Amino acid sequence: MLREISTLIKKEALIECRQKYAINGIILYLASAVFIAYLSFSSTRGVVSVEAWNALFWIIILFTAVNAVAKSFLLEKGDRILYYYSIASPEAIILSKIIYNTMLMIALGALGILFYSVVFGNEVVNHSLFLLNLALGSMGFAIIFTMISGIASKASNSGALMTILGFPVIAPVLLVLIRLSSESIAGAMSSPGKDLAVLAALNALAGTAAYLLFPYLWRS
């Protein structure tokens, strides 16, 4: 399975390199969202409260994740899916998609905080906690939206179905992310271990569900 996973990840990266318009479009979307947010606060010269800074950042990352991860299965054609079915196990397919999308989201999250800091300034005090939170959040977004993309690809109106299914599922993860970010911005000295454990547990639960349920979805 490890060889299948590594081969499928290389395939995802190769397709991404050949279709540079897709990743360039996502980066443009990210930069445009940050710039539009800046224009919305132009009357205050880009100065926003700490609470607004935190919430706005995660809203931008959330919608970037939807656009970046939605293509996991929605753009797969029927012939390609049949080919995958004949050469790889469903467990290897879903794990490769999750790993690749996690790496993609971590990279987009790093670009997002870079763009955001240039425009709005960096309010973070505890940078190590914020970066760990960003990495776990990127993993959570990748796991949840990858699985939902697989479910939505089986329906006719896949784009709308992904939105309907995605946001109720992602809400608990998003709440924990915002709370941890608030702690990293405030520089609170209290241990954030409980929230980090909850976030890791949510990621593990979503990943386990995707691993166990995807083979049944794949065979359908």
DSSP string, 91-145: HHHHHHHHHHHHHHHHHHHHHHHHHHHHHH----S-HHHHHHHHHHHHHHHHHHH
| pLDDT tens-place string over residues 99-111 | 999 999 999 999 9
pTM, two decimals, is 0.87
Number of domains, the chain: 1
pLDDT score, position 114: 92
- Domain of residue 204 covers 2-219
pLDDT score, position 220: 66
pLDDT score, position 43: 62
With the CA atoms of 118, 121, 125 and 130 taken in that order, what torsion angle do they form, in degrees rounded to the nearest 10? -50
Residues in the chain, pLDDT under 50: none
